[in-house]
Structure 1
Amino acid sequence: MEAQKYAGSIQLPDTDVVFRNIKNAKRFAIDIGGSLTKIAYYSTVSHRKVLYNTEKEATNTVDGDDYKYESSETERLHFVKFETKYIEQCLNFIRDHLVNSKESMAGKSIKATGGGAYKYADLIYEKLGLAVEKEDEIGSLIKGCNFLLRNIPDEQFSYSRHEEPEYRFINTEPNIFPYLLVNIGSGVSIMKVESDDKYERIGGTSMGGGTFWGLGSLLTKAKGFDELLHLASEGDHRNVDLLVKDIYGGDYSALGLTGDIIASSFGKAMHHGHTKNDGNPGFSEADIARSLLFTVSNDIGQIASLYAMLHGLKKVYFGGYFLRNHPLSMHTISFAINYWSRGAVQALFLRHEGYLGAIGAFLRGAEECDSEKYSWGENYAGSSGLQSPLPHPPVGGWPGGTIDQLEIDRCDQQLTFFPLLAHPEEYVPDTVDLTKDKEARDYWLSCFEGSLGSFVSRAVSSQPNSIDAVERANRFREKYLQRLHNLKNHPFAYGNLTVRSLLDMREHCLNEFDFPDPYLQQKKFENENALKMLKDHLKYLDSLEWKERQEVLIRGVLAGNVFDWGAKEVVELMEAGLGFKEAAGKLETRPWLHDDLDAWITRQEGRPYKCAVIFLDNSGCDVVLGIIPFARSLLAQDTRVVLCANSKPALNDVTAEELIMLMKQVATVCPIINQHLDSGTLCIRESGQASPCLDLSRLPISLLDELCTWDCDLVVVEGMGRAVHTNLKAVFTCDSLRLAVIKNRWLANRLGGNMFSVMCKYEAGMQKINAAPKSSNISENVIKDCLSVSSN
């Protein structure tokens, strides 16, 4: 059968078939360009999920009837690229594996954009039996761009070839508008985007990627676009271009022009008769290609920067085949934009710019992607990143047909920025960017690789009755290890490389191979033991004088936070039988590494808080003996308390569903907790997170609406992942308290402390400062200068 010849050869750089989960695909769209075709399809992915019995009658112990595994589904968007010259084989594959196998596809249409939507409309109908609904190319590009900017963290970046790191990822602002979108295909289109529905094409130029390719084909022996770019990377444009110093013997100081500025592109070619000593021309084909690249890029950069300045825009996003993750192209565009605008305009690129049109076409009429209801997040386990190696040409298949792919999973709700951030436009969750810090990067990549064995063992032991658990766990190991090795060479592959992203990627890979909660039994065991100690612990706290009790409460939170199965040295202590009192004894003596305890106690003596939200961490002693007594103390001061826990499992972190069951058991021990649960002054909410870290730019809107209604004036962030790896530098408009124990020796040394150093950081709220309105115009003199000076 024809499909069998090529279906197995559609391979990703790892081991997975590109058209993943196509048997569950519901609909798809296609963006057909002259060189690359992009397919977008929507599917549901089945996986194992833990279902908790939250309605079970509460007792003060935990037994085996609290949960069960059930099959669940995740909505996922898949995006795949391949070369347009293989479109017939691709359509055959889609016909055999999607259309013909789906009665629901009968009589349907396919949304398509790009020039090929017209060129190949008859072919699509012939192969698939589906009518083609042609979507406007520009509208699709903009819709896709808006979707990515809103949903994918670290989607946008700036690029500079001579800086370290080359890629600098830009945090997404709450408001993505306005911006300029410059699409560089054969020619160039320039669009001003002011909102989802308000945009216009304000200009362009015929000097685009087609110009570079066409002239390059005439002037060199390069056989294709990529070969021409490679040739340009080896050339020296100074052998072809006439520089300022070639005319003036140095700088032209009167006009502020340095000697290396290009005065005339290809200017030295007029002296073609001049030869080197060996009789050859004074320049090579590589030099020509390099000069040609600079000529086209500088022209595009100048025109784009002028349009941006005329319209008062500071952000310019570039996309299109000319870039397609070509570092040299991005560098020359960035240099031109910076030069012509004198730094007033920023050139930005998108990690997934190649999918803009496909995303936009797919979203047309896709109710399941309603941005008013849902947010989306990248599935790291199924995406390939920047600089990922291309697969080797398969024998007898689609030679070089697959480029890369992207997968995006739908969240259960819409997520947005925490309203109590003082400067949301400046918020970056992560404390350390590992793309910039090589020492930290090398350490953490090695650390995660070294701990991989224990996670494989934990995954297998969490499903003792599964006959294929070992095989799936080994596949998890292989995939995550491959991701770590790729990140050693290309740390920017998935955006900012951070401890958070490494943790998230591990969770994605565990879920990919159906290990949704490897620490489930461990959490149950620790909760049960902690509950046995709770009554006596509360009695002890109540016996203390007020001021002493406040300190003991904080020490209790810190002692509980020692219990962390993600910290290698602590795991050894826990496996040996670490107790709550022993954990408290491990804490460093005061003064702590960061010690605001006295300031916190002094603040407690003042006006009670109206509402406190606590982003909590681990199960067991952490939540039962640390957080719950602390929350109980706030409740005693008539403060409403919101306990905010993960929506999905990660390590031994407590989830919101687990916490609901646990609090019922706590209520049987403590009447005060029971009273406040009944009255609603103590409530449990989901954080929208599935990570040991905390991203305050992606919290559920429903949670934030409640916090605003209740006039939340205290934020408590607990744990090394949430308060150190992330949010250590976050600034809030209300009071904040960050509590954590440093359980990694390397990190403790890095911070200037020792193992079990304490982070107790209290800060009074900062008044929110509204950003100054952006100027609608940039100096006309700057524009005039740009018109009269040639770029480098």
Structure 2
Amino acid sequence: METKNYAASIQLPDTDLVFRNIRNAKRFAIDIGGSLTKIAYYSTVSHRKVLYNADKDSTTSVDGDEYHYESSETERLHFVKFETKYIEHWLDFIRNHLIQSRESMVGKSIKATGGGAYKYAELIQQKLGLMVEKEDEIGSLIKGCNFLLRNIPDEQFSYDRHGDPEYRFINTEPSIFPYLLVNIGSGVSIMKVEADDKYERIGGTSMGGGTFWGLGSLLTKARGFDELLHLASEGDHRNVDLLVKDIYGGDYSALGLTGGIIASSFGKAMHHGHTKTDDTPGFSEADIARSLLFTVSNDIGQIASLYAMLHGLKRVYFGGYFLRNHPVSMHTISFAINYWSRGGVQALFLRHEGYLGAIGAFLRGAEECDTEKYSWGENYAGSSGLQSPLPHPAVGGWPGGTIDQLEMDRCDQQLTFFPLLANPGEYKPDAVDLTKDKEARDYWLSCFESSLGSFVNRAISSQPNSPDSQERANKFRDKYLQRLRNLKNHPFAYGNLTVRSLLDMREHCLNEFDFPDPYLLQKKMENEHALKLLKDHLSMIDGLEYGCRQEALVRGVLAGNVFDWGAKEVVQLMEKGLGFKEAADKLQARPWLHDDLDAWIERQQKVPYKCAVIFLDNSGCDVVLGIIPFARELLGRGTRVILCANSKPALNDVTAEELVVLMKQVALLCPVLGKHLEDGTLCIRESGHASPCLDLSRLPQTLVEELVDWKCDLVVVEGMGRAVHTNLLTSFTCDSLKLAVIKNRWLAQRLGGEMFSVMCKYEAGTRKEEQTSKFPKIS
């Protein structure tokens, strides 16, 4: 086959925009369809990582202290879509941008699936020098579907074109099985999936996307599938279809049929001409396209619902070229399956359904992506988002348009559900869904945009010796700003839009441009200041009577929680010099906005807890003067305590690595705490997070196993991000205490309070026997 050097004549807009980190790609897979090709590849991304050296022996320390940067790598999966007609250009581009020469790749292989895996096998081998290993298409689709459902929150959604909002994202349950997968390509295949290795094709129909496209090409002048769908979106099927009311003059109540139900697809074509005129009633090509879309969709919906009901399945996932997240297609499928199943079966869609085959093919034999060892998370800095692909201009003969991408970063371990959730299948971490609440959405998007300048400045100042920090910080600003403005038009792009997702997106963009911990030096300074106050603070607490001591401990946590560099109004106070006592004086007077303090104190007089896990928030006064004394009290009552901190930096939140260093300094000031650390009754664990918020459906498997083994019976969640923005409404099977100070005036007023309102929410476990005390009242 003759080859051409397209790369010499076609200039792509930006290597990093199209095939990001392609130079470090180590493994490929490709899913080639008739119209779209999807490429999956694995790479390692180098970046700065903050390390905490308790022995202070690093020669690359910051400010001569125990904190230093070290080069690290993140494993990343990349998925890119493009039109199959450009496959030669893209293969040339990939070849010319790999670090490895073409010769060094000879003998290696690429996984391939889809019909084009056969058609283009020779071309792929010739262009890339890779042997083509063909993978079963159905098996790849299911493997990819399982991977997405397990690893990407808000991956699945239902769609209602007339709903508010249109997109409703569904929580992923601890078990994703069983389900029905309906893949709508040229024809339709229906698969019943009961486990990773237990699935079968149970049916299908020849009436699929090819039927719609083929008949549409014969009946209209539409050029291509998307033009036909667009035409259908402008049509009115009632001009072509014969409705129940056209036959009976209204509803057919005896059979439960409303007048608007289609009695005969294209039924009116028997009586009217093809083209509308002023004098002759008729129908347009748009009407024909709409009727055709309904004809095919209703047939698919009816068959799918019948199979689902026959096999007792409630969840049906739809994917394939026919859908491609197109609103008109999803609406017609949803309506059909809801109608034919009488609401008993739910039509669900996937944000990244176009990548199922590519993901599944890639995972086969990819040991570095072992799903038994690692979980993955969507990288918001590198993913284009649902219905919002990244624009790129026409350059050097290459057609302008959009690039659709998905990027996923590998976690260091397997993540799973918190074992003490009362209703894991219904768990929603976020208190407010901004896709539904326009007032809140407009406020928070504006709030994050207005505070962007301070984060740019903080990023630059965190790396004073880096000559390119200004340039990288500006790139961070531009990317995050583009994401925020895009979310104004497409709030559903990354699933449920929440304060959590906005915070996470900001962290992803900071890391994208090598700012892993902009608050590094600030945390160091605040920890040192708080440690100087700790000894006297503990002595003061020890001198209090029981009731006063319990209240002081809770107030201490709340006072510490005031110190938050993510809260704009508090930042102004902190920059002027906010002290711990002054912060305590800022707290709302009792009764608090939510005040369960008395109930908590009363519970403390009963049987001590066996094990408590505390999800921490900020560094400095928060952890040192708030959480540590609180944990010390529990330890004194015989409770094992797990301090659970972020795995990676976010804002001024304490990280697990940082906490290990900090607790060694605390142990020197308080030998009691030192002994608990030595004995293992006080433990430090990672939460698996790099966010100011907390998603309890994604915790390290090792942590979960410890909580079960140690019979954890108390959960303490602290901070506005973890206990208000997320988990405010979460119920547990064990007792829980949520503590936070509201440091955003708009949010406080929305909750019915004022600035510095207090949330002190204590709840007994929802499914445990009432504990009774056999111990005397502690004074």
Q: Is the 8 A contact 2:392 2:401 kept in 1?
A: no
Q: Which moved more, 1:482-491 or 1:267-276?
A: 267-276
| 1:8 CA drift (Å) | 2.5
**Residue 336 of structure 1 corresponds to which residue in structure 2?**
336
Amino acid at match of 1:529: H
Q: Is the 8 A contact 1:38 1:82 kept in 2?
A: yes
1:9 aligned onto 2:13 = yes
**Residue 786 of structure 1 corresponds to which residue in structure 2?**
none
Q: Is the 8 A contact 1:714 1:736 kept in 2?
A: yes
Give the alignment of 1:589-600 within 5 angstroms: 589-600=589-600
Given the superposition, is the C-alpha separation of residues 554 and 653 from structure 1 closer, same or farther in structure 2, using an over 3 Å criterion? same
Given the superposition, is the C-alpha separation of residues 104 and 654 from structure 1 closer, same or farther in structure 2, using an over 3 Å criterion? farther
Residues 336-381 of structure 1: CA distance to partner in whole angstroms, max 9, x if unpaired? 0100001100000000000000000000000001111100000000
**Residue 20 of structure 2 corresponds to which residue in structure 1?**
20
Give the alignment of 1:181-580 within 5 angstroms: 181-273=181-273, 278-280=278-280, 282-389=282-389, 391=391, 394-399=394-399, 403-580=403-580
Partner SS, residue 17 of structure 1: helix
Amino acid at match of 1:512: E
Amino acid at match of 2:262: I
Q: Is the 8 A contact 2:473 2:513 kept in 1?
A: yes
Distance 2:729 2:204 in 1: 42
Residues 95-139 of structure 1: CA distance to partner in whole angstroms, max 9, x if unpaired? 222385266523111110000011111111222222211000000
Partner SS, residue 9 of structure 1: coil
| 1:293 CA drift (Å) | 0.4
Equivalent residue pairs, number: 761
Residues 418-451 of structure 1: CA distance to partner in whole angstroms, max 9, x if unpaired? 0000110010100000000000000000000010
**Residue 668 of structure 1 corresponds to which residue in structure 2?**
668
Given the superposition, is the C-alpha separation of residues 697 and 344 from structure 1 closer, same or farther in structure 2, using an over 3 Å criterion? same
Q: Is the 8 A contact 2:462 2:518 kept in 1?
A: yes
Distance 2:694 2:63 in 1: 30
Distance 2:63 2:401 in 1: 53
Q: Is the 8 A contact 2:558 2:739 kept in 1?
A: yes
1:84 aligned onto 2:88 = no
Q: Is the 8 A contact 2:105 2:129 kept in 1?
A: no
Q: Is the 8 A contact 1:81 1:402 kept in 2?
A: no
Given the superposition, is the C-alpha separation of residues 701 and 390 from structure 1 closer, same or farther in structure 2, using an over 3 Å criterion? closer
For structure 2, which runs of at least 5 residues remain unmatched after alignment? 770-779
Distance 1:664 1:103 in 2: 53
Residues 392-415 of structure 1: CA distance to partner in whole angstroms, max 9, x if unpaired? 561444325754010000000000
Amino acid at match of 1:236: D
Residues 562-602 of structure 1: CA distance to partner in whole angstroms, max 9, x if unpaired? 00000000000101111000000000010000000000000
Give the alignment of 1:767-782 within 5 angstroms: 767=767
Distance 2:506 2:516 in 1: 11
Give the alignment of 1:749-764 within 5 angstroms: 749-764=749-764
Distance 2:391 2:102 in 1: 30
Partner SS, residue 64 of structure 2: coil
Partner SS, residue 18 of structure 2: coil
**Residue 777 of structure 2 corresponds to which residue in structure 1?**
none
Distance 2:486 2:768 in 1: 41
**Residue 742 of structure 1 corresponds to which residue in structure 2?**
742
Given the superposition, is the C-alpha separation of residues 471 and 275 from structure 1 closer, same or farther in structure 2, using an over 3 Å criterion? closer
Distance 2:10 2:595 in 1: 63
Given the superposition, is the C-alpha separation of residues 392 and 411 from structure 1 closer, same or farther in structure 2, using an over 3 Å criterion? closer
Given the superposition, is the C-alpha separation of residues 639 and 37 from structure 1 closer, same or farther in structure 2, using an over 3 Å criterion? same
For structure 1, which runs of at least 5 residues remain unmatched after alignment? 770-792
Given the superposition, is the C-alpha separation of residues 274 and 404 from structure 1 closer, same or farther in structure 2, using an over 3 Å criterion? closer
Given the superposition, is the C-alpha separation of residues 634 and 275 from structure 1 closer, same or farther in structure 2, using an over 3 Å criterion? closer
Distance 2:245 2:741 in 1: 60
Amino acid at match of 1:428: K
Which of structures 1 and 2 has the larger relative contact order (alpha carbons within 8 angstroms, sep 6+)? 1
Root-mean-square deviation (CA, aligned residues, Å) is 1.6
Partner SS, residue 765 of structure 1: coil
Partner SS, residue 98 of structure 2: helix
Distance 1:491 1:2 in 2: 38
Distance 1:258 1:424 in 2: 39
Distance 1:402 1:111 in 2: 26
**Residue 772 of structure 2 corresponds to which residue in structure 1?**
none
**Residue 634 of structure 1 corresponds to which residue in structure 2?**
634
Q: Is the 8 A contact 1:462 1:521 kept in 2?
A: yes
| 1:273 CA drift (Å) | 4.2
Q: Is the 8 A contact 1:208 1:296 kept in 2?
A: yes
Residues 188-243 of structure 1: CA distance to partner in whole angstroms, max 9, x if unpaired? 00000000000000000000000000000000000111101110111000000000
Q: Which moved more, 1:89-98 or 1:162-171?
A: 89-98
Distance 1:402 1:130 in 2: 28
Amino acid at match of 2:144: G
Amino acid at match of 2:575: E
| 1:10 CA drift (Å) | 6.0
Distance 1:364 1:682 in 2: 42
Residues 603-623 of structure 1: CA distance to partner in whole angstroms, max 9, x if unpaired? 000000010000010000000
Give the alignment of 1:639-650 within 5 angstroms: 639-650=639-650
Amino acid at match of 2:330: M
Distance 1:707 1:397 in 2: 59
Q: Is the 8 A contact 2:646 2:656 kept in 1?
A: yes
Q: Is the 8 A contact 1:383 1:407 kept in 2?
A: yes
| 1:391 CA drift (Å) | 3.0
**Residue 35 of structure 2 corresponds to which residue in structure 1?**
35
Given the superposition, is the C-alpha separation of residues 542 and 463 from structure 1 closer, same or farther in structure 2, using an over 3 Å criterion? same
Given the superposition, is the C-alpha separation of residues 681 and 79 from structure 1 closer, same or farther in structure 2, using an over 3 Å criterion? same
| 1:476 CA drift (Å) | 0.4
Q: Is the 8 A contact 2:392 2:402 kept in 1?
A: no
Distance 2:73 2:125 in 1: 32
| 1:91 CA drift (Å) | 1.4
Residues 459-495 of structure 1: CA distance to partner in whole angstroms, max 9, x if unpaired? 0000001111011101100000000000000100000
Distance 2:674 2:390 in 1: 59
| 1:272 CA drift (Å) | 2.6
Instruction: Provide the TM-score with structure 1 as the length reference.
Output: 0.94
Give the alignment of 1:169-188 within 5 angstroms: 169-188=169-188
Given the superposition, is the C-alpha separation of residues 402 and 95 from structure 1 closer, same or farther in structure 2, using an over 3 Å criterion? farther
1:158 aligned onto 2:158 = yes
Q: Is the 8 A contact 1:387 1:493 kept in 2?
A: yes
Amino acid at match of 1:430: D
Residues 128-177 of structure 1: CA distance to partner in whole angstroms, max 9, x if unpaired? 22221100000000000000000001000000100111000001100000
Give the alignment of 1:715-730 within 5 angstroms: 715-730=715-730
Q: Is the 8 A contact 1:557 1:627 kept in 2?
A: yes
Given the superposition, is the C-alpha separation of residues 39 and 186 from structure 1 closer, same or farther in structure 2, using an over 3 Å criterion? same
**Residue 112 of structure 1 corresponds to which residue in structure 2?**
112
Partner SS, residue 391 of structure 1: strand
